[in-house]
Structure 1
Amino acid sequence: MAVNIKFLFADVLVILLPLAIASDSTNIGTTNGLNEVGVLLNHLQTTEAVVQKLLRRVELLETRNEAQQQTIQNHQIRIEHLESRDIDQQQLILNLRSELVVEGQRTSSLERFRERIGKVACQSEDKKNRVSQTEKKPGKGLPTQTRKVVLNQTYTEENNPGDLKTKGYDLRKRIRRADNEKNIAFFATLTNHLEHVGVQQTFVFDHVVTNLGHSYNSYNGNFIIPVSGTYVFSATLVSEHHYSSHSHFTVNGQAISFMYVSGSEAGFDTTSQMIVVKLQKGDDVCIRNIDAHKSYLGGHYNTFSGFLLRQDVSETVVVGKK
């Protein structure tokens, strides 16, 4: 009986031992699987951290790229401004050269005029002497009074400055400014819509129809006064749909008159204004917006124009034709 129990126990061991070994193997496999999962999770976390760093770097690069693009745009705007100033400087040089030529002509004309006055003065002295001699000898030729009349008439016809008006010869018609012959006028319109215009932003009327004298700058919207005098300017402004805004004429950056469009109530609105101002050479005139984030209609509805009404003649003069 004891032997049978031993054999039964051995059989049980034979049956249970493989099961125990298999169970141990399963536990080891499970442990290994959990370790691999942990490793994968750690690797995933590391990958996510790397991805986050890359995303932050991409955002930084995008921000830097936007800043560089803005810098490039600012440089382009500055280049356009410098090109515009260069054009203005070239035009100023041309104007100065033309004025230099005019001054030379004026000097030459004045010299000729002075010589003629000197000759007339000498002739008047000679004729007075001849008249005196004739009065001493009234028996020869015409009577004394008749000789005086003839000599005075001859003297007048030879351009005596004191008697030019009596002969219908207006000396002022011969003395005039060469600059008065300048024709200065411009007219420009707005092609594209102006969206979200800033405070004190200048209206740039980019489509130039007329620019006699080349004093209006279509790059910055300014009109530079070429000669001193009285000028007439006019403007028409049309707001975008449901926009109300204020604007003004400016001379050298100072406001001299104001305009208002009430688009918020009427949908679209328009305003027009004309001004007459006396300006000096080198002054600049433009139209500027006052309120922030306003919009104006393009399509040639907005216009800006001006012309020289009368030049200031208080400066130098030149001798011209009758």
Structure 2
Amino acid sequence: MQPNLKLLLSLLVILYSIQFVKCTENRLEQLERIVGKLQDTISMLSKDNANNKRLVEDLKFKVNEQEERIGALEKGCKIESRIASSRAMKKRVGYYNDSFNEAIEDLNANMPFWRKAFEDLNANMPFWRKKVKPNTIMKRTSFSDRGSSENVAFFAFMSQDLNSPSVAHNLIFDVTPTDIGSHYNKYSGMFTAPRSGTYVFTWTIYCSVGGYVYEQLMVNAEVLDSSNCNADGAGWHRSISGTAVTQINQGDIVYVRTHPTSLNKGSILSSSSHRSSFAGWLLF
């Protein structure tokens, strides 16, 4: 680049000096020589430009070659990483295969022990178990297998409070969320046994603040159990619950009533937050 600058500077100097040359016959030769020098300089500059263009083209070609080499190197690196991953995977698979083979060998080595253990188990099996065939399925009997008439259960509660209940008053639990078999009468508060068997009955009574109520669980005209809800002197309502298991006959009537002689005070409470309820079901 420095020779080109020098040539340009010389051209400028020559052009600047031409302005001061007087057009005389003695100077014509000098001007011709100057013009000749200018032409030589221009031809040299043209050659330099051509060389520079070739240099630029060569550089572009070399840049493209380098880019191709870089792309090839990147592909090679990716292939090498995949090869390394596959080698690592092969090592893991080989490890698992070796572990599996060792486990199989241990199992084969200990097979006589397990075979003898099964033989001893079969030899010591109870007599009744040996009678069962291998493909026999033992079916468990459930209540649903006995028929719908065997399923007996009910749950009922009072829809509202009962104010000042009298003596020997049958308590009516008039809401029945559960009544399997339809053996509970929500209008009379009485349950009628559909068949003889063992039944479970339970009841819960809430009494008002300062009050008390005496209850009895009745089977026909006989008292089976009794309870007393007592909130006398309490600052909040109280409750009492009772449970009885009894064997009754088909057609027997079970219900809850107040005591025939003991007086009651206050109310029996029943609401969404505390329900007075009565329930029962066939046990077997």
Q: Classify the TM-score, shorter chain.
A: 0.3 to 0.5
Q: TM-score, normalised by structure 2?
A: 0.46
Q: TM-score, normalised by structure 1?
A: 0.41
**Which has the larger helix fraction?**
1
Select the structure of larger CA radius of gyration: 2
